[in-house]
Amino acid sequence: MNKVVAVLIFWTFFIPSAFAADIKVGFVTTLTTPAAVIGNDMKNAVNLALKHLGGKAGAHNIEVVFGDDGFAPDTGKQVTDRLLKQDKVDIIAGYIWSHVLLASRKSVLDAGKILISSNAGPSQMAGKLCHENFFSASWQNNQTPMAMGEVFNREGIKSLYIMAPNYAAGKDMVAGIERTFNGQVIGKDLTKWGADAQLDFSAELAKAKVSGADGLFVFYPGAASGAFTKQYHQAGLKDLLPLYSVFTIDGISLPKLQAANFSGIVGSKVTQQWDPSLNNQANKKFVTDFKEQFGKYPSFYAAQSYDTINMIASAIMAVDGNMSDMAGLRSALKSANYNSLRGKYSYGNNNFPIQNFYLREVVEDSDGNWTTEVVDTVFKNHQDPFAAECKLK
């Protein structure tokens, strides 16, 4: 026992000083529960980003410490605290889930560190809870469904039935679609979410079927998307009630949907700020190398995680590794001066991106794999609707 303590003391006091030049990045994602499919995709992208950077930002080594939120806000907060206090990271990034990010934000911001979301974009943190040290490398939750609502208006869809999980992001998605969609929302269901999420949607699909809506709009990210799509097909809704979705049919679910041969998915349309087909140098390199290394298309989660690491690296270089120069870090992050996979974008007053949103269509590529490609630009330089509520200038 004493030996163990001695080794631990040695670790804490002597070893870190040997790597004093290293900059530690904490990266919180989901590595257990079925949602780990997303977490693993993000982890792969982070490691690919580090590989492309040679593990360095300028002269400084970057070390990424991963934390597992277990798909639960309380675990997410605990792991965030551990990264801050025990691993003493300089920056915290990651976060798939809005409720996990909302639970963890205070720990990071109170510690005076930079917090970067690689995915979650809860409305609260874009508006009243915005903070000078919080940046989004992705989008604000409402934006992607807002783009979808705009698509509905263009396509002349008059009425919708909506289904989403009952948590922070699910509510933002519903609010987003209602903000831009000019037609009528005939019915909506918010279903239980989390590690014990509801995955049998029999009651909700039966209601949607008799609702007489023109379309069904859903948001079921990660593992739930496979279960949902399957039941949608089994319920025979394909010809009755066309399916529209955000964050549901993506690089994570497409291989599985293809394996189960749900051919109805090909041709379906989703909105997003990024796509593997986007034509810029950084994106081409990322998609090619990712496919080569992991044998599948990267998901948007992967793309945003790759962006996160490059964004952090650009900020580290700007302050030359002086992580206590908060003002320098902030202005470097805010300039978005790195080769983002989505192309050039800028930051609004609330540190959320002002960026394009594309309409993507599910297609079969030349190798016979299902993927998406951009068919239209829905919004150009779009800013989230909560920026006005944020007190930052």
Partner 1 sequence: MDYTLLLIQVLNGLQLGVLLFLVASGLTLVFGILDFVNLAHGSIYMLGAFICASLTYVLESYLLAIVLSLPIIGIIGYVFELFLARPLYARDHLDHVLGTFGAILVIDTAAHLIWGPAGIAIPLPDYLDGQISIAENIEIPTFRLLIIVVGLTAAFGLLWLVNFTRLGMLIRAGASNRTMVAALGINIRSLFAIVFALGATLAGLAGMLIAPITEASLGMGNNIIITAFVVIIVGGIGSVKGAFVAALLIGLIDTLGRAFLDDLFKIFMSTTAAENSAPAISSMSIYLIMALILSFKPKGLFPPRLR
Residue numbers of the site for partner 1 (CB under 8 A)? 32-37, 39-40, 166, 188-192, 195-197, 199-200, 202-204, 206-207, 210, 223, 226-227, 230-231, 233-236, 256, 259-261
| Amino acid, res. 128 | K
Q: How far is the CB of 223 from partner 1 (least distance, A)?
A: 6
Q: Is there a contact between 108 and 77 (Cβ–Cβ < 8 Å)?
A: no
Q: Is the CB of 58 or the CB of 212 nearer to partner 1? A: 212
Nearer of residues 230 and 284 to partner 1, judged by Cβ? 230
- Name the residue nearer to partner 1 (CB basis): 234 or 288: 234
Q: How far is the CB of 176 from partner 1 (least distance, A)?
A: 16
The answer to whether the beta carbons of residues 55 and 316 sit under 8 Å apart is: no
Spatial contact of 219 and 172, defined as CB atoms under 8 Å apart: no
**Smallest distance from the beta carbon of 140 to partner 1, in angstroms?**
21
Is residue 285 packed enough to be buried (19+ CB in 10 Å), middle (13-18) or exposed (0-12)?
A: middle
Closer residue to partner 1 (CB): 182 or 234:
234
Looking at beta carbons only, is 24 or 171 nearer to partner 1? 171
| Distance separating alpha carbons of residues 229 and 253, to the nearest angstrom | 10
- Distance in Å, CB of 142 to partner 1, minimum: 17
CA 54 – CA 48 distance, rounded (Å): 10
Of the pair 8, 206, the CB lying nearest partner 1 is at: 206
Shortest distance, CB of residue 294 to partner 1, whole angstroms? 13
User: Which residues are bridge partners to 161 per DSSP?
Assistant: 187, 216
Name the residue with tokens 């140098």.
Answer: 281
Q: Detail the DSSP E strand segments found in 148-252.
A: 159-165, 184-191, 215-218, 243-245
Measured from the CB of residue 331, what is the shortest distance to partner 1 in angstroms? Answer: 39
Q: How many residues does the chain have?
A: 393
